[in-house]
Amino acid sequence: MAVSNKSYDVIIIGGGQSALACAYFLRRTGLNYILLDEQQEPGGAWQHGWESLTLFSPAAFSSLPGWLMPESSGKFPSRAEAIAYLKAYEEKYKIPAERPVKVEEVAKTDNGYTLSTSSGDYFCKALISATGTWGSPFIPNLEGLDSFKGKQLHSAHYANAKDFQGKKVLVVGGGNSGAQLLAEISKVANTVWSTLTPPTFLPDEVDGRVLFDVATAKYQAMKEGKPLDTKQYDLANIVMVRSVVEARERDVLHSKGRFNALTETGVIWGSNEREDFDIIVWCTGFKYATKHLDELGITDVDGRVITEGTRAKEVAGLWLVGYGNWTGFASATLIGVGRSARATVNELNEYLNH
């Protein structure tokens, strides 16, 4: 490996919850490692959530390995409390991070990897990619998308509803972000909700704790080949957080269905009705933020990599943590990523020792 003060046994790309969980276990190995985070401050993608965003579970059920999140002032921790926790976690465990450092390209070498970054080249023997999804918002390529002359933004870039006062707003997407942004924007604007299928809501008493327990049971049943009926607690259904409950009381949680195309001034619904809007808010999810791995030739159109557990199958010495169930059961959650992180570091340590 090239002689450099930027050479490490392990580099973690990312600075959010998944990167921190991996770092927690790497501390115990004696390996020389560092996090490269493109953000200006600690806190990962939580820094970019909308201002009123909250977790789905109480603090005790929203914690990373080793240290419980401090109790929240409300039922569920706020975005600000989540950011404060991640920052304090990084400081508590003295996790080495350099920021802002954007990893632009990863190249495989005989001895590991070379990372081309905004701060020069870095070198490592093994690599963990933990960049999540926030950096890759998805908007469907619908007919007329570029012709709409109003404002468009993705939920990834939504902060609050103050600029929506008195506007006609279309909220697109039937998941939790769609329901929560509809709830907030509908207080100040004339809103319409578009979803591909009728939205489905979880029972009011169900929160992230129940969902995690159900997901755990489903995971165990799959491993053991046993059936499990969890339709009532489908993880894709909408959690009834306080703002969504309040929107239901105002009778605004109604979808108009799907539309077929956009025009200069609005959309064309499936019935061929045309409707004008000032703003379209896309709550249509994300692809995987793995563009930095493109040159390795292992990512598909969604940014996904073929893995066995968290280990990339097509190149040696690369692990992916926190991107969803394909990189570990519940690994995209605060409480769930610890299991994937521990297994990853155990595998990685064995790999380097051999």
pLDDT at 209: 58
List, for residues 74-91, the tens digit of each pLDDT value.
878 999 999 999 999 999
Contacts of residue 142, Cβ cutoff 8 Å, sequence gap at least 6:
259, 260, 261, 262
The low-confidence residues of the chain, meaning pLDDT below 50, are 1-3
* Residue given tokens 């975005």 in the structure block: 79
pLDDT at 332: 80
pLDDT at 296: 97
pLDDT at 237: 79
Query: In 3-state terms, what secondary structure has residue 86?
Result: helix
pLDDT at 1: 36
**pTM, 2 dp:** 0.88
List, for residues 180-230, the tens digit of each pLDDT value.
999 999 999 999 999 999 998 888 777 655 555 555 555 555 555 666 555
> What's the gap between Cα 190 and its chain centre?
29
CB 319 within 8 A of CB 310: yes
